[in-house]
Structure 1
Amino acid sequence: MIEKDKGRLEVLARIEEYEKNGWFTKDVEEDPPTIPLTPDKVDYLNKKLSNKIATFFVNIGAKRFINNLVKNGQMVIKGIEGIENYEAIKDSGAILTCNHFNPFDNFAIHYALFPYMYRGNGKVLWKVIREGNYTNFPGLYGFFFRHCNTLPLSANFSTMKNFMVAMKVLLERGEKVLVYAEQGMWWNYRKPRPLTVGAFKFAVESKVPVLPIFITMNDSDKIGGDGFPIQEYTLHFLPAIYPDPEKSTKENMEMLKDKNYAAWKEVYEKVYGIPLTYSCDPDKIK
């Protein structure tokens, strides 16, 4: 029997502590210090030929890598529900939101969307990622993070100005951008967490819909190298949510955030058959 990984046990203990305190956006992983991302270190729109070439080949490799994960049982996709909701907005720019419970949960979304993307049609999935994942994530995954249509956030004001310009350009030309509105990644956490408004600001300012995605999990009968059961994923693509032209930017951001959370909550309670509750006092949720 494989012993459970000490690091994962520590993360689970932090998740329990953070939920009790209502710290839902805090990171539970001990990530290395972030290297600041300056404007000269990122080409958001892949304007440079070298980046276009790298991205082309990385996307081919990433698609093969993800398909092999599924083929070898390292990532288990149990089901994909509501894909017609994606089809309804496939020709529009859109913000996609998803619960964040694994460093590579976006691989599951890629897999579900392969019939629509990465087929020589110019359609790809763009991802907003944390600064540190772009600047100092090691090895093959780090190379993927830097050359797989990623949009790194940054503490640098000038870099973020370029980020916002790129976001607007992408949405206006019909691209799909995945944003983790929960912020920090909570490993194998099954509940939806309260959302932040940033993702919804992008949608409101570019007048595009938000497509909520919620991934539910159950333990498989296979044990991973960390000593924990490999999770079986079911992806739920939910109906798109649209900004209201009669509302202000702030009102729309709150409205989209609340509707997204409510949609996730409904799926959680239906699939798991239990009401959504947290261990913290309601007034501590922040």
Structure 2
Amino acid sequence: MKEQVVANMERDAAAGKLNAKVEVADPTLTKAQQQQLLQHYVDRSQTLSYRMNNHVSRRVANLATRYFNRRTRIEGLANIKDVTGGAIVTSNHFNPLDNTVVRKTMRAAGKKRLFIVSRDTNLEMGGFIGYLMNYYDTIPISDDKEYAGRVFPQLVERVLADKQYLLIYPEQEMWFNYRKPRPVKRGAYYYAAKFNVPVISCFVEIRDLPLVDNAEFDQTRYVMHVLKPILPDPNLSVRENSRAMMATDYQQKKAAYEAAYGKALTYAFEEDDIAGWRGERLPFTNQPQKTV
């Protein structure tokens, strides 16, 4: 049920808090629990059991990617045809499974694996998504100083050195079905600059469908816009590069939004900002013949 989440987005957009957490009932951890969770992740990732479950989870992710993106269209794939080696991928964050849109795109570009940076609290999730969070190619991000300063950079470097792609959501928090690209934070671009890899800039357009999904939402489909890759400038410092790449990526996503939706990007909240949101627009009736 997302009514409170939509209300939180409206409130925070009006206050200019566009990177704030809006989801409700997310797991919370004490410092000790956080450290224990991260250490368990590091220890487990070296085990045979993890490697077996990682293999299974990637097969499951392939099936989920095909299922959830059977209507997804990809535009601009030629923009990254010359990208070689590792890269940081950035995209807008609007759904727990929006990484499957990115994954479908990168597989179309020839990459069989996509590593994903995810909040440490997501390791506490249950069910199907929780399984993927724990065993798929995820790297937890945390505000624990020891982990963030020492372990996390090593994990990022290992992925990039192996010539893999790493998805980092620069908006930080997920805003459910929010169409607009939000201001980006510097972390993704810092690591791109530090390890001298390009940023693959993406923006996902969300289109409404005239099909009922549930009491609050209609169904939607996605159009992935692959934008021009952003390369670090060898004449700039890591700090200068990260700031320049960050600004370029945001401007590219802004331009992609304006081209896709045919209007200027502002953060004045409108009901249509939430894709598929029924609100008071339509009565809900159970129509199983319209689900897919």
Per the TM superposition, whether the score is higher than 0.5 is yes
What is the aligned partner in structure 2 of residue 99 from structure 1? 92
**Pair 1:275-2:264 in alignment:** yes
Match of 2:225 among 209, 233, 236: 236
Match of 2:169 among 169, 180, 191: 180
**Pair 1:10-2:13 in alignment:** no
Q: Conserved in 2, the CA contact under 8 Å of 1:133 and 1:142?
A: yes
Identity %: 30
Unpaired runs of 5+ residues, structure 2, are: 270-292
**1:203 Cα deviation (Å)?**
0.3
Question: Which digits, 9 at most, give the CA deviation of each residue in 1:153-187, with x for residues without a partner?
Answer: 12323322211111012112211000000011111
Question: Which digits, 9 at most, give the CA deviation of each residue in 1:6-49, with x for residues without a partner?
Answer: x3122111111101111011110011213414443113994332
Q: Conserved in 2, the CA contact under 8 Å of 1:8 and 1:226?
A: no
What is the aligned partner in structure 1 of residue 14 from structure 2? 20
Unpaired runs of 5+ residues, structure 1, are: 1-6, 281-286
* Larger RCO (CA within 8 A; separation ≥ 6): 1
Between 26-35 and 176-185, report the one with greater CA deviation: 26-35
Question: Which digits, 9 at most, give the CA deviation of each residue in 1:135-168, with x for residues without a partner?
Answer: x101121111011100001232332221111101
Aligned-CA RMSD value: 1.9
**Pair 1:88-2:76 in alignment:** no
> In structure 2, do the counterparts of structure 1 residues 47 and 65 end up closer, same or farther at CA, with 3 Å as the change threshold?
same
Following TM superposition, where does structure 1 have runs of at least 4 consecutive aligned residues deviating by more than 6 angstroms?
none
Between 95-104 and 153-162, report the one with greater CA deviation: 153-162
Alignment of 1:57-136 (within 5 A): 57-71=56-70, 76-77=71-72, 79-89=73-83, 91-116=84-109, 123-134=112-123, 136=124
**1:227 Cα deviation (Å)?**
2.8
> In structure 2, do the counterparts of structure 1 residues 115 and 274 end up closer, same or farther at CA, with 3 Å as the change threshold?
closer
What is the aligned partner in structure 1 of residue 286 from structure 2? none
Match of 1:246 among 214, 222, 235: 235
Q: Conserved in 2, the CA contact under 8 Å of 1:222 and 1:230?
A: yes
Q: Conserved in 2, the CA contact under 8 Å of 1:117 and 1:125?
A: no
CA distance in 2, matches of 1:25, 1:85: 28
Between 176-185 and 43-52, report the one with greater CA deviation: 43-52
Query: Which secondary structure does the structure 1 equivalent of 2:90 belong to?
Result: strand
CA distance in 2, matches of 1:237, 1:110: 12
